[in-house]
Amino acid sequence: MSSDWRYSYIECFGNIGLSIRTYLVPCYTFGKNAQLMDKNCLLYGLLCAIPLLNVMLAVNLRRQIRIKYKISGSVPKDILALLLCPFCTLIQESQQLTDHQIETKIPSDMVIERDDVENQTTIETPS
């Protein structure tokens, strides 16, 4: 069963910090996305600055993200998205990868309680 991206292209300004960073230094966001897919952050960040190679790497990375998270789409659609709005595409991928990373780091049996009297949060892990 395939699904859609969690965030659409028009939601690329939802995280203003990520948006600004991506528009100013897209190679950084591309490298971090690659790192979240178990690739070398520095290498991908540097290779992102090489014309044509950056498009091939971006299409391949996006395809790998789609496969890993069972997101519907195709390589031609990936190419079109990257050519029409490369920054929004990078942001969309980053949000997808970051959300999944956060979800996998929180154990399902962890209890999070908030004490409203002292405004403190207590996290209990099972023993």
pLDDT tens readout for residues 83-117: 999 999 999 999 999 987 776 665 555 555 555 55
> In this structure, what are the phi and psi dihedrals at residue 96, rounded to the nearest 5 degrees?
-60, -50
Q: 62 or 11, which is more confident? A: 62
**In whole angstroms, how far apart are CA 96 and each of 10, 83, 93, 121?**
14, 20, 5, 27
pTM over 0.85: no
- Give the residue carrying structure tokens 């949060």: 121
